[in-house]
Structure 1
Amino acid sequence: MKKITIVVACLLMAGTAMQAQKYFTRDGNVAFFSSTPIENIEAHNSKATSVLDAESGRMEFAILIKAFQFEKALMQEHFNENYMESSTYPKATFKGAVKDWSKVNLSKDGEYPVTVAGDMTIHGVTQTVEAPGVITVKGDAISAASEFPIAVADYDIEIPAVVRDNIAKEVKVTVAIDYQPLSR
């Protein structure tokens, strides 16, 4: 009976440890910036959802397109209605993994340069992407950051000829995530 109790206790502890191996946020920050000679376009979204599996390095993101905030209301309206068609394509997603996850030591404070690769879906189009990033460990806190370009044409986002010179063909995307342990 004592052996069964020890085995059950070990299984329960292992289950608890496995639960603590996932990290989550609903408050991730994603921004994009586009520069042209006529006008700069910048938007911020502080409601990105992300999950990080600390055992495998797999990560997923979901971003509501309508949650991007612009300095000018008209830009935001055109972005949602004319370009991103956010009623038809309400979110952007990423499903992938940190390629060099074995280099990240979650029990040791530090900044770990990594490469993230996976499938990004924007405007109903999925592309395989790879981007540099940094995983930062400080105490029990884990954060992730990345900056990478996205070509608008890769996601079938049509820019009308009349404003084509006002919108860059490539936008710079910046991601900053502070993860919390996922508790069940």
Structure 2
Amino acid sequence: MKTLLFTLICAFFCISVHAQHLYTSKSTSISFFASTPAEDVEATSTKASSVIDTKTRNLIFKVSNTTFQFPKKLMQEHFNENYMESDKYPASTFKGKIRDDIDLEKDGTYTVTIDGSLDIHGITKNYQTTATLIVSKGTITAKTSFKVTVADHQIKIPTLVFAKIAQIVDVHISAVYQPK
């Protein structure tokens, strides 16, 4: 996990210039929920990584698709093998920027707009969402939710189970950041 986090930092930020403004989250939770008349599907991963640069307001999230836990083992197996093709597409990432001109080193509660690109199943699509950021005593807590349309990321759903799989998935993210 430390190697993944370090790789994220190196790949997305210039450490030598911005290191004092990097905040990392080792407590990042990503969950999703989809409802159909046949069955509700939900899963959570608490093993996601995230980094935010408080000066540039750039951020990145990365999660290994196999870390999502489902209430039913068969759902988890189908998710990884049939839909996400986790062997071929092992991770999902979001790279974005907070659009609002706020000081993330100043205590307060902020509602912000985030623009970025979400890469799921090898397909990258632009998204815009709002998030709540709470800055308190050097810690940043972030929460957001948005909808993802399965077809936008070319996730194929067999006709046989089409009625059991929702076409739109609600995604929820929460992270607690500490200075790097």
Aligned residue among 131, 147, 150 for 1:149: 147
Is the Cα contact below 8 Å between 2:132 and 2:142 reproduced in 1? yes
- Counterpart of 2:117 in 1: which secondary structure? strand
Deviation at 1:95, TM superposition (A): 1.1
The aligned counterpart of 1:127 is 125
Structure 2: how far apart are the matches of 1:106 and 1:121? 26
The aligned counterpart of 1:168 is 166
Is the Cα contact below 8 Å between 2:54 and 2:103 reproduced in 1? no
The aligned counterpart of 2:111 is 113
Deviation at 1:17, TM superposition (A): 9.8
Structure 2: segments with no counterpart, 5+ residues: 1-14
Amino acid of the structure 2 residue aligned with 1:56: T
Deviation at 1:111, TM superposition (A): 1.4
Deviation at 1:61, TM superposition (A): 1.0
Is the Cα contact below 8 Å between 2:25 and 2:49 reproduced in 1? yes
Deviation at 1:108, TM superposition (A): 3.4
The aligned counterpart of 1:36 is 36
Structure 2: how far apart are the matches of 1:162 and 1:179? 43
Deviation at 1:107, TM superposition (A): 4.0
Structure 1: how far apart are the matches of 2:95 and 2:134? 20
Deviation at 1:19, TM superposition (A): 2.7
Amino acid of the structure 1 residue aligned with 2:60: E
Structure 1: how far apart are the matches of 2:113 and 2:179? 22
Deviation at 1:60, TM superposition (A): 0.8
Structure 1: how far apart are the matches of 2:120 and 2:170? 15
RMSD of equivalent CA atoms: 1.6
Deviation at 1:167, TM superposition (A): 1.0
The structure with the largest alpha-carbon Rg is: 1
**Share of identical aligned residues, percent?**
42
Give the number of aligned pairs.
Answer: 166
Q: Which runs of 4+ in 1 moved over 6 A?
A: none
Deviation at 1:27, TM superposition (A): 2.9
Structure 1: segments with no counterpart, 5+ residues: 1-14
TM-score, normalised with respect to structure 1? 0.86
Is the Cα contact below 8 Å between 2:62 and 2:94 reproduced in 1? yes
